[in-house]
Structure 1
Amino acid sequence: MDVATVLPVIWFFIVGFSVLMYVLLDGFVLGIGVLTPFARDEQDKDIMMNTAAPIWDGNETWLILGGMGLFAAFPIAYATMLSALYLPVLLMLIALVFRGVAFEFRFKANRGKRFWGSAFALGSTLAAFAQGVILGAVVEGMPLQEGKYIGGPFGWFSPFSMLTGVAVVFGYALLGSTWLILKTEARLQRVARYMARPLVLVVVAFMGLVSAWLPFLDSRIMARWFEGPNLWWLAPVPLLALANAVALWRVAMREGRDAVPFLLTMSFFVLGFAGIVIGIWPNILPPAMSIWEAASPPSSQQFVLVGAIVLLPAILGYTWWTYKVFAGKVAADSGYH
């Protein structure tokens, strides 16, 4: 295999890894925002938000890395996606900015504390929904002609993208609830445990609907999963996801194993992400734009790969260090004031 064949594969996995890391790490912060309306009082909201206060900014580094990697390595796909998904991408960015402002302002506000708390919840929910819509639109496929998007401004709107939008909101809520199990204690932790169990059922139901719908979006996806020996090779992915869900359901209410629900939820997301990648591979934009067709020249990919080789270990290193420094339970009197 030559460089022009290998480099797009490497960059596909770098971009995919960055997106997955963003979903796992910023997903639980968005999930906290989704869950804040169910907090008993402002003090519980303080604790919920303080669990993420030291680390939430850094989580968004992965979104930037994934976006810039897509721009540098797959500029055709980047331009096509922005043309097709301008409105949901704009909604996501505005919601993320709104969430960030609300996060900071709420801790400093006096009379407007409740308003900024509601703004944090709204921004988090809209950002999660927009990300799910973007995912659904990309997986469902875009009308392309000679590599250019030919759909209208609302070409992303479909029952499938709306389904994935709502599914991601509930998925992030599950991540948020299991994060709270890990980081809180006493009454708030018990509330998080009680929220986690029904969320497991809802997320499993949504994952089942999306998985059942996915093969019918494109005959090639159906062939990928069910023709020849593929079913036997790929069957472990849904089976592991089902076993993961059962384990998460059983452990969510079990005292003394606070980290396990969060780890199981993250592995659930990883398995779901793996299923999506298997379904669309080797396309970066279904139904017909492959990673090689969308790739930039090998010289460009090699140049930015040098930066990625330096940046990836650095980002992984400071992410690990940050989570290590701020490990442990969050008390009511800690964090922002």
Structure 2
Amino acid sequence: MIYVVIVFLWVALLLYIIMGGADFGAGIIELFTTGKRLNISRARHIMYKAIGPIWEANHMWLIIAIVILFVGFPNVYATMSTYMHIPLLVMLMGIIARGTALTFRNYDAVTDNMQVVYNKIFVYSSFITPLFLGIIAGSTVSGHIDPHATNFMDAYVYSWLNLFSVAIGLFTVSLCGFLAAIFLIGETADAVEHENFVRKAKIMNIAAVAAGLLVFIAAIEEHIPLADWVFGNFVGLAAVIAATISLIALWYLIAKGKKYIIRVLAGFQITMILLTTTYKHYPNIILFKDGSHLSLIENQGAEKAIQSLGMALLVGSVFILPALFYLIWSFQRKPEQADQDMHGY
């Protein structure tokens, strides 16, 4: 049953990166959108319509991942929440601020200067949240967490404030923007808007490549064996090749106007990236500065807890997944004019 729990943990993280990434990416796209090329009010409406189904449910995957760690791997949970408490707090504050700003700017009965404040909170928290999500992810495998630290800075700041972790954060931000742009391409029939979202996707694709190079440079500088994790095994190498081929196919299909399959390909690329970066050091989830590590297998909770957790996840998925598909389906069927009236665009 432990392997069922680990698979659910990995899938929950993957779905949060894909769905949450597209959600956060909408704000990132808005942050770098001006009225020169695209009507900003119209762009906001398109983005809200696109993220509506996943905005309602994407944090469910983060909650599932946290519950799995808390119940199934308490030592891992305690370690992460201790050494990563600062970036975790910033990330959670970003999630709260973003959701609050999105709600108030869409449903506030009074249209005044506060809309400007809501917009700024929304776009900047959309950038900050995935940035710190990536920083946390990078920190767990960077080897900067020092279990023998004797001062606050070494224990709770330098464990995450380093070039590699920040580079992973920027890479995560660019991936979120890319995912959102891909989702938005299929949400408009207007040729000008379509072209501008394609342009955004290209920019975010370039940003992701640049951030990815920065990640490898940082890994070399800080003696992190990232190249071995990615290219030193068959699974990692095959995932890189598959991601590259799918990226080429994605841009070909964009040119052909295929709006649904490109979303699948974008999600597939994220899957390959996560597989590449987690396969080699599995089941080790946290790598420490002294060379030790925390393993999901060696640090699992009590057997009865794992059994109960695994059964709860299996049974819960029977209800959660159909409900999620129905949520997305129901949002897609919403009439355009009614959608505009509801959200005030």
Q: Give the SS at the match of 1:94.
A: helix
Partner of 2:19: 25
Q: Give the SS at the match of 2:285.
A: strand
Partner of 2:140: 138
- 165, 169, 172: which is aligned to 1:168? 172
Partner Cα separation in structure 1 for residue 164 and residue 313 of structure 2: 34
Letter in 2 for 1:320: F
Measured at CA, do residues 214 and 274 of structure 1 come closer, stay the same or move farther in structure 2, by a change above 3 Å?
A: farther
- Do 1:181 and 1:189's aligned partners in 2 also have CA atoms closer than 8 Å? yes
Partner of 1:247: 249
Normalising by structure 1, what TM-score? 0.87
Deviation at 1:168, TM superposition (A): 0.7
Partner of 1:34: 28
Deviation at 1:221, TM superposition (A): 6.5
Alignment of 1:81 with 2:80, yes or no, is: yes
Q: Give the SS at the match of 2:332.
A: coil
Alignment of 1:59 with 2:58, yes or no, is: yes
Q: Give the SS at the match of 1:285.
A: strand
- Do 2:27 and 2:122's aligned partners in 1 also have CA atoms closer than 8 Å? yes
Partner of 2:101: 102
Partner of 2:307: 302
Measured at CA, do residues 49 and 224 of structure 1 come closer, stay the same or move farther in structure 2, by a change above 3 Å?
A: closer
- 153, 156, 167: which is aligned to 1:153? 156
Q: Give the SS at the match of 2:160.
A: coil
- Do 1:33 and 1:120's aligned partners in 2 also have CA atoms closer than 8 Å? yes
Measured at CA, do residues 237 and 54 of structure 1 come closer, stay the same or move farther in structure 2, by a change above 3 Å?
A: closer
Partner of 2:277: 276
Letter in 1 for 2:186: L
Percent of aligned pairs with the same amino acid: 22
Q: Deviations over 1:146-177 (max 9, x none)?
A: xxx99511021110001011111111000110
- Do 2:243 and 2:269's aligned partners in 1 also have CA atoms closer than 8 Å? yes
Measured at CA, do residues 161 and 192 of structure 1 come closer, stay the same or move farther in structure 2, by a change above 3 Å?
A: same
Deviation at 1:250, TM superposition (A): 3.4
Partner Cα separation in structure 1 for residue 19 and residue 48 of structure 2: 14
- Do 2:164 and 2:219's aligned partners in 1 also have CA atoms closer than 8 Å? no
- Do 2:174 and 2:205's aligned partners in 1 also have CA atoms closer than 8 Å? no
Partner Cα separation in structure 1 for residue 201 and residue 9 of structure 2: 30
Q: Deviations over 1:103-133 (max 9, x none)?
A: 1100134012232122111111111111011
Measured at CA, do residues 132 and 232 of structure 1 come closer, stay the same or move farther in structure 2, by a change above 3 Å?
A: closer
Deviation at 1:212, TM superposition (A): 6.7
- Do 1:47 and 1:330's aligned partners in 2 also have CA atoms closer than 8 Å? no
Q: Cα RMSD over matched residues?
A: 2.6
Q: Give the SS at the match of 1:334.
A: helix
Deviation at 1:224, TM superposition (A): 5.9
Q: Deviations over 1:80-118 (max 9, x none)?
A: 000011011101110000000111100134012232122
Deviation at 1:218, TM superposition (A): 6.8
Partner of 1:325: 330
Normalising by structure 2, what TM-score? 0.85
Letter in 1 for 2:101: A
Q: Deviations over 1:8-63 (max 9, x none)?
A: 33322211111111111111010001111305322321232232234412111111
Partner Cα separation in structure 2 for residue 326 and residue 214 of structure 1: 42
Greater Cα shift, 132-141 or 202-211: 202-211
Greater Cα shift, 295-304 or 81-90: 295-304
Deviation at 1:303, TM superposition (A): 1.7
Q: Give the SS at the match of 2:258.
A: coil
Deviation at 1:249, TM superposition (A): 3.4
- Do 1:185 and 1:329's aligned partners in 2 also have CA atoms closer than 8 Å? no
Partner Cα separation in structure 2 for residue 332 and residue 68 of structure 1: 40
Q: Which runs of 5 or more residues in structure 1 are unaligned?
A: 1-6
- Do 2:135 and 2:168's aligned partners in 1 also have CA atoms closer than 8 Å? yes
Partner Cα separation in structure 1 for residue 294 and residue 107 of structure 2: 48
- Do 1:51 and 1:330's aligned partners in 2 also have CA atoms closer than 8 Å? no
Measured at CA, do residues 131 and 219 of structure 1 come closer, stay the same or move farther in structure 2, by a change above 3 Å?
A: closer
Measured at CA, do residues 126 and 234 of structure 1 come closer, stay the same or move farther in structure 2, by a change above 3 Å?
A: closer
Partner of 1:4: none
Q: Give the SS at the match of 2:155.
A: coil
